[in-house]
Amino acid sequence: MLTGQIRNDIDKLWEKFWTGGITNPLTVIEQISYLMFARMLDMQEEVAERKAARTGKAVDRIFPDTPQGQLLRWKNFKNLSGKELHKHLKSEVYPFFATLGQKSDDQDGLGEEGTAIEALGHIGEYMQDADLEIKNESVLVSALEMVDELPLTQSDVKGDIYEYLLSKLTTAGINGQFRTPRHIIDAMIELADPQPTETVCDPACGTAGFLARTMEYLNRVYSSSEAEGGTWQDEDGNTHYSGDLLEPYRDHINKQMFWGFDFDTTMLRVSSMNMALHGVNGANILYQDSLSKSIKEHYPQQEQDFFDVILANPPFKGSLDETNTNPDVLGLVKTKKTELLFVAHILRALKLGGRAAVIVPDGVLFGSSKAHQQLRQELIENNQLEGIVSLPSGVFKPYAGVSTAILMFTKGGTTERVWFYDLQADGYSLDDKRTPLKGEGSNDLPDAIAQWKQYRKAVDEYLSHSRAGGNPFLPWEDKTQKAFVVDAKDIAVNKYDLSINRYKEVVYDEEQYEDPKAILKKLKALESEILADLNELEGML
């Protein structure tokens, strides 16, 4: 959470971009990202210089150790005048970004955790086509001043800064695309419960919301108490988490834990910066169409049996050219529909025992085509489809009104029962405004998460006691409740239909009506009163 002052500063800068002629929110974020990148490179260099001074070893530099090279550093150009600054960034600094991709191959371990970011690697690769689009010199100077004042040395605040910038996209959209609401992402992460020893992937990562919020979740779960210094509050009452208990896993988190794929280079640039600002130096944010057959050539290891956890909100609309689609995915489900192909791809990419939480349109749950039934049968018979959370249709407004659900499944085994939850409120109004709501009944998400955890505990107890003794699933046998369990055999006989309305039982309140003769008698009495009033009125004329 950010202090009010930082939020106000970002809002003011956003307004300056707008009045300066840059109205596309994604362009604004890109331009701010470039400036953050330039500053972080300089921070990286300063840390390397301090380390070299302590150890007596040579500095492993990012910038050339020449007068011209030193002018590329943030501290040496940030005070230039507007016109001179614009020319220097466009002709010298941004072209320098294009050289970092090659340099990153032999750079490893630069910087110290918590004080600077290893901003090379994939980020440098996607910064190669960086271009300065800020034409207004006063806007450019204001942008540099604000970025220079941002507390980028505070690892827990860096991510919040970028999240706040990205939140601007929810109100403006990105060329028809839309971000998954942050509270839905957080709920899905809670449901999947990723661990710091695992590998986590989003095959259609966009701005890397799932991956960045997973890092925040880990920081929150793996922080010591306030008394031990791992948690603290700022002047606005916001709680911050250091993630100090993650230190034994830090190398894995930085290099191997996070994987994101997308074929939009702008999104890759934004998501790479998002991960860096969340303290993940070497997130594997990679250019790739996850459904294309080229993934077998470019990422053969990651294409099958690789990930422990997959979190995704893949594209719903559109159909793919079959000739360019991964044939192994088509082997699971013969279709052109992206929503079905992505679920099949996710199944392949998971390790045996790996788990996923994926948003799908309701059509995936009840579609009658052969491909729809084939995929659902695969989930039920050859894997463990464990839970389905039905979401209200307004969750993605104003960009889409389609009804959706969260599928939770584990690769391998077979399904015995499926846990359903009928989520009717997510804490926001379900109209285009999506206004935050408070009060009882305004948010089912906390209850859904709590009941899911209780259910998973019941499953573990059931399995650990060799399926003996009592019925641990008794609390979910009542199908009139929001959460209930359905036997997989009942699903199979319904053509593997997974729509919640197929199994939820609705209790109707019985209405009591008067006897028709009594109602008729009352009507006659009313008619008599009306006739008497009319006769009285006639006598007055």
> Which runs of consecutive H residues, i.e. helices, occur in 258-369?
265-277, 295-298, 327-332, 338-349, 363-366
The CA-to-CA distance between both ends of the chain, in Å, stands at 78
DSSP 245: G
When pLDDT is cut at 50, 70 and 90, the band that residue 515 belongs to is confident
Q: Per-residue pLDDT for 454 more than 90? A: yes
Min mean pLDDT across 75-84, 192-201, 412-421, 458-467 is at 458-467
Q: Per-residue pLDDT for 57 more than 50? A: yes
455-469, pLDDT tens digit by residue? 999 998 888 876 666
Min mean pLDDT across 17-21, 25-29, 423-427, 507-511 is at 507-511
Min mean pLDDT across 104-113, 287-296, 339-348, 416-425 is at 104-113
What does the alpha-carbon distance between residue 40 and residue 253 come to, in Å, rounded to a whole number? 20
Q: Per-residue pLDDT for 127 more than 60? A: yes
Q: Per-residue pLDDT for 109 more than 90? A: no
Which residues are 177's β-sheet partners? 174
pLDDT of residue 400: 73
What does the alpha-carbon distance between residue 7 and residue 539 come to, in Å, rounded to a whole number? 77
- Residue 132 near residue 86 (C-beta atoms within 8 A): yes
Min mean pLDDT across 161-170, 278-287, 402-411, 461-470 is at 461-470
When pLDDT is cut at 50, 70 and 90, the band that residue 122 belongs to is low
Q: 406-422 burial, b if ≥16 CB within 10 A, otherwise e?
A: bbbbbbeeebbbbbbbb
Q: Per-residue pLDDT for 59 more than 80? A: no
pLDDT of residue 117: 34
Query: Pick the residue with more confidence: 317 or 226?
Result: 226
Average pLDDT over residues 255-266: 90
Q: Per-residue pLDDT for 181 more than 70? A: yes
Nearest one of 261, 270, 350, 205 to 36, comparing CA atoms: 270
pLDDT of residue 155: 62
pTM, two decimals, is: 0.83
Which DSSP string do the residues of 259-277 spell out, in sequence order? EEEES-HHHHHHHHHHHHH
pLDDT of residue 465: 74
- Residue 479 near residue 503 (C-beta atoms within 8 A): yes
When pLDDT is cut at 50, 70 and 90, the band that residue 402 belongs to is confident
List the structure tokens of 314.
């893949």
Chain centre distance of CA 405: 15
Q: Per-residue pLDDT for 177 more than 60? A: no
Q: What is the mean pLDDT of the chain?
A: 86
pLDDT of residue 172: 44
Average pLDDT over residues 490-497: 96
> Which runs of consecutive H residues, i.e. helices, occur in 209-368?
209-221, 250-252, 265-277, 295-298, 327-332, 338-349, 363-366
Residue type, 116: A
Average pLDDT over residues 127-145: 88
Q: Per-residue pLDDT for 103 more than 80? A: no
**Per-domain boundaries in the chain:** 356-528
The 3-class SS string of 153-195 reads CCHHHHHHHHHHHHHCHHHHCECCECCCCHHHHHHHHHHHCCC
State percent of the chain over pLDDT 70. Answer: 91
Average pLDDT over residues 67-94: 92
What does the alpha-carbon distance between residue 78 and residue 339 come to, in Å, rounded to a whole number? 47
By three-state DSSP, how is residue 419 classified?
strand
Query: Pick the residue with more confidence: 112 or 299?
Result: 299
Cα radius of gyration (the chain): 29
pLDDT of residue 469: 63
Q: Per-residue pLDDT for 214 more than 90? A: yes
What does the alpha-carbon distance between residue 87 and residue 77 come to, in Å, rounded to a whole number? 11
Q: Per-residue pLDDT for 108 more than 60? A: no
Chain centre distance of CA 435: 20
Highest mean pLDDT among 134-138, 233-237, 326-330, 492-496: 492-496
Q: Per-residue pLDDT for 371 more than 80? A: yes
